[in-house]
């Protein structure tokens, strides 16, 4: 039975609670996973659904209310089921890809394809369901269990299991609303009208407190607890035990249900196989600092640790070549070995030791390896397979003087395959590279090709700022064209993709490469994390093979030159090569300029010192404000509960409330309970006799008197505690 149907406070309270639960719950995964959704549309759905269900359940009987809801649901399913299913797959795919990346599960193809779809419709339906459950719970005085059961998973999936954090405001809105519902539940059960009125009174300080906490404790400052961090390794170990092989019927290539990292790009949601990278799913990223491997080297250097390469760009997606594509290619098993790969600049053999935290389907190797890792199998010119899934291996590598084998058949294959572009993309990129392509048609010299390639990379690097907060490509836009024309920021995936496409448009063979980019220290183990996952470019020079080209500004600024230090006591470095230098057989690729700290890194010490005083003062001010707001909310809660218990209901019920308060006061003061008032309270509690107003007044007067005496006889510190902590204030004589 619906209680207090005629109460305006009940409807308003139900609507506000429904909005807090629905908005907080759906925006937690949206902000944590970067889901593709229209935030304003979702906000309007939360508001409209909350008001509609509150009015519906207040005005009409349950049978009519739920009948109307059922009819609306059937109509929605009839007219919008296709859009809802697509949106639901996008929602599940957007969430599941984070679990795939973190725990190396297998991602169903349907979810992988739909991961970039707009999830607004599905999230709107979820918001409406949560608003319905909450409004019904509040107005019908049902248990809070249903609301908690429906809303808590939205917070748990993105905060407890994964190392992701939802936005501070939606998280606090959800938890604050749930807490307020729990605190006022008993009072709403006993005195419904007063309970709803109290909830409305408390909403203002709670809202102010939530806003203050969201400002004082931003999302970036969140630190996960140890018990929460321990869940990820536990799930990862379980997933590792379930690792199996599977064969892709379409490509014929072997894929692993539990690969080490998705396209070697850590937890970043690009893809979970070595055969494709869906750029539609590339969106804002956050650093995780999740450890993935250790690398030992005798040299100090910036290291590109290569994983695999992609060749075909279509519909904002990179895919690998199939076995059929390699027919008559002339590619040999040694094309990935020295001397066909670009050197790190070492003039002596070196050995890189690698220890991965989990099993991997591919080997991660430095450039110009002298031989394959133990058990390694070269998959054409794309990557080196790790069929035994070794987690510890070493790779010898060195700079050698020989040039690449002049394999005319393979070079013809490279020029035909790695310059392909969709016709519409090539037409759009034509204005960017007209001059470069004309130069190559008249002069195929390697020096000119290298200059043009480096010039294109520099153009892309200067076209946008480096930022992990770059949004997803808008629906219907091509990833590379949108980045070149519209976006003012990007990270490695954006810069690498745009560079490859421009190189191909200029008739320079190029491909998209993934792996890790990090710094090694001589004689020490280097820790590599998911944040070191990287994407870059390889372009082909006839006679010299595939050359490394990294257009990402962060790669040029964050990491020292790739020239390793010589093994001398002084640890001096070789002179840096210029970008225009030809890739002669006995010279490494031109160096990346020396770097400064990027925006995403921690500021230097002097910067911190400049702002430390202001930040400390601001933090102190906000802390004081939050404490004051919390005290105000606590005071209002205690006073409202006390007033509701002693000021509403029958005289007998109020008398019992007064007596309990008197017991509390006597316990604080250490005095004995008055016997006559005890008898009066027992009569009110167990007798059928209804107390008169005068009898109730006796209890009220003694309560006021005892409160004043307690405050007067207490010391200064205890008086502060009584007033601020227990909300006991002097009472004027009635």
Q: What is the pLDDT of residue 234?
A: 54
How confident is the model at residue 233, as a pLDDT?
A: 53
pLDDT score recorded for residue 225? 53
Q: What percent of the chain has pLDDT over 70?
A: 68
pLDDT exceeds 70 at position 547 = yes
Identify which of 273-277, 351-355, 641-645 has the greatest average pLDDT: 351-355
CA-closest candidate to residue 541, choices 457, 450, 419:
450
Report percent pLDDT > 90 for the chain: 21
Q: What is the pLDDT, as a whole number, of residue 686?
A: 84
For residue 421, give the nearest of 494, 487, 507 by alpha carbon: 507
pLDDT tens profile 202-240? 666 667 666 666 665 555 555 555 545 555 555 545 544
What pLDDT score does 449 carry? 86
- Specify the pLDDT at position 424: 94
Across the range 173-186, mean pLDDT stands at 79
Contact status, residue 500 vs residue 550, Cβ threshold 8 Å = no
Q: Which residues pair with 96 in a beta bridge?
A: none
- At residue 527, the 3 state secondary structure works out as strand
Confidence of residue 478 (pLDDT cuts 50, 70, 90): very high
pLDDT at 261: 34
Dihedrals phi, psi of 313, to nearest 5 degrees: -110, 125
* 371-404: pLDDT as tens digits: 888 888 888 888 898 888 888 999 988 755 445 5
pLDDT of residue 462: 92
Q: Which of 57-66, 328-337, 694-703 has the highest mean pLDDT?
A: 694-703
Per-residue confidence at 428, pLDDT binned at 50, 70, 90?
A: very high
Q: Can you give the pLDDT at residue 169?
A: 83
- C-alpha dist (Å) from residue 451 to 82, 117, 266, 455, 549: 51, 40, 33, 6, 12
pLDDT band at 602 (very low <50, low <70, confident <90, very high): very low
Mean pLDDT of the chain: 75
Q: Which residue has the higher pLDDT, 98 or 26?
A: 26
- For the stretch 248-276, pLDDT in tens is 333 343 333 333 333 333 333 333 345 77
Closest Cα to residue 455, out of 622, 608, 299, 580?
580
User: Residue 218's pLDDT is what?
Assistant: 57
Split at pLDDT 50, 70, 90, the class of 64 is: confident
The Cα–Cα gap between 656 and 16 comes to 32
Q: Rounded CA gap, 128 and 151, in Å?
A: 12
Mean pLDDT confidence for 416-425 = 94
β-strands 489-490, 465-466: how paired? parallel
Which of 307-321, 339-353, 687-701 bottoms out in mean pLDDT, i.e. has the lowest? 339-353
pTM equals 0.50
CA distances to 51, 457, 506, 511, 538 from 541, in Å: 66, 15, 14, 13, 10
Does residue 729 contact residue 704 with C-beta atoms inside 8 Å?
no
Which residues in 485-498 are b (16+ Cβ under 10 Å) and which e?
A: eebeebbbbbbbbb
């Amino acid at each position: 039975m619906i209680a207090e149907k005629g109460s305006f406070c009940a409807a308003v309270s139900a609507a506000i609670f429904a909005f807090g639960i629905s908005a907080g719950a759906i925006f937690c995964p949206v902000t944590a996973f970067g889901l593709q959704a229209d935030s304003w549309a979702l906000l309007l759905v939360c508001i409209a659904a909350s008001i509609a269900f509150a009015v519906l359940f207040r005005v009409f009987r349950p049978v009519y209310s739920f009948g109307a809801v059922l009819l609306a649901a059937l109509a929605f399913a009839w007219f919008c089921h296709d859009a809802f299913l697509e949106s639901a797959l996008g929602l599940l795919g957007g969430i599941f890809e984070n679990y795939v990346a973190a725990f190396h599960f297998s991602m169903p193809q349907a979810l992988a394809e739909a991961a970039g779809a707009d999830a607004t419709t599905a999230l709107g339906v979820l918001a409406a369901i949560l608003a319905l459950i909450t409004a019904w719970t509040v107005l019908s005085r049902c248990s809070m269990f249903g609301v908690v059961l429906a809303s808590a998973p939205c917070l748990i999936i993105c905060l407890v299991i994964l190392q992701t954090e939802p936005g501070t405001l939606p998280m606090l809105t959800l938890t604050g609303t749930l807490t307020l519902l729990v605190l006022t539940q008993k009072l709403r059960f006993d005195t419904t009208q007063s309970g709803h009125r109290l909830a409305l009174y408390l909403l203002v300080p709670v809202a102010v407190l939530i806003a203050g906490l969201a400002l004082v404790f931003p999302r970036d400052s969140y630190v996960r607890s140890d018990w929460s961090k321990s869940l990820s390794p536990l799930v990862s170990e379980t997933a590792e035990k379930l690792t199996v092989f599977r064969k892709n019927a379409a490509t014929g290539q072997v894929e692993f249900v539990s690969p080490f990292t998705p396209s070697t790009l850590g937890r970043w949601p690009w893809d979970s196989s070595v055969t494709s990278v869906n750029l539609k799913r590339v969106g804002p990223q956050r650093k995780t600092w999740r450890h993935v491997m250790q690398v030992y080297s005798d040299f100090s250097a910036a290291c590109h640790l290569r994983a695999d390469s992609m060749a075909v760009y279509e519909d904002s997606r990179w895919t690998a070549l199939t076995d059929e594509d390699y027919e008559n290619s002339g590619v040999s098993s040694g094309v990935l070995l020295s001397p066909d790969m670009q050197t790190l600049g070492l003039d002596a053999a070196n050995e890189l030791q690698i220890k991965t935290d989990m099993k991997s389907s591919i080997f991660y190797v430095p450039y110009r390896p002298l031989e394959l890792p133990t058990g390694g199998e070269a998959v054409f010119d794309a990557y080196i397979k790790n069929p035994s899934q070794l987690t510890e291996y070493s790779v010898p590598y060195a700079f050698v003087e020989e040039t690449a084998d002049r394999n005319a058949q393979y070079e013809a294959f490279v020029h035909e395959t790695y310059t392909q572009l969709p016709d519409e993309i090539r037409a759009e990129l034509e204005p960017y590279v007209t001059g470069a392509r004309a130069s190559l048609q008249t002069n195929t010299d390697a020096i000119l090709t290298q200059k043009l390639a480096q010039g294109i990379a520099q153009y892309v690097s200067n076209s946008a700022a480096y930022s992990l907060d770059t949004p997803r490509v808008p629906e219907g836009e091509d990833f590379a064209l949108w980045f070149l024309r519209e976006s003012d920021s990007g990270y490695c995936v954006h810069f690498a993709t745009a560079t490859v496409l421009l190189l191909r448009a200029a008739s320079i063979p190029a491909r998209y490469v993934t792996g890790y980019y990090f710094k090694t220290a001589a004689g020490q183990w280097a820790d590599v994390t998911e944040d070191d996952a990287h994407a870059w470019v390889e372009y082909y020079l006839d006679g010299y093979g595939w050359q490394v080209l990294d257009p990402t500004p962060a790669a040029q600024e964050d990491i020292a030159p790739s020239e390793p230090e010589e093994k001398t006591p002084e640890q001096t470095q070789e002179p840096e090569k210029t970008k225009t230098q030809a890739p002669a057989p006995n010279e490494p690729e031109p160096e990346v300029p020396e770097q400064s700290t990027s925006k995403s890194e921690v500021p230097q010490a002097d910067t911190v010192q400049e702002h430390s005083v202001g930040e400390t003062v601001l933090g102190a001010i906000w802390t004081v404000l939050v404490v004051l707001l919390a005290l105000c909310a606590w005071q209002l809660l205690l006073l409202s509960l006390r007033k509701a218990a002693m000021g509403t209901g029958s005289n007998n019920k109020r008398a019992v409330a007064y007596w309990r308060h008197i017991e509390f006061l006597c316990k604080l003061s250490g005095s004995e309970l008055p016997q006559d008032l005890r008898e009066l309270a027992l009569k009110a509690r167990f007798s059928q006799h209804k107390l008169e107003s005068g009898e109730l007044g006796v209890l009220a007067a003694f309560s006021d008197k005892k409160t004043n005496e307690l405050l007067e006889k207490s010391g200064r510190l205890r008086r502060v505690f009584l007033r601020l902590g227990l909300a006991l204030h002097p009472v004027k004589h009635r």
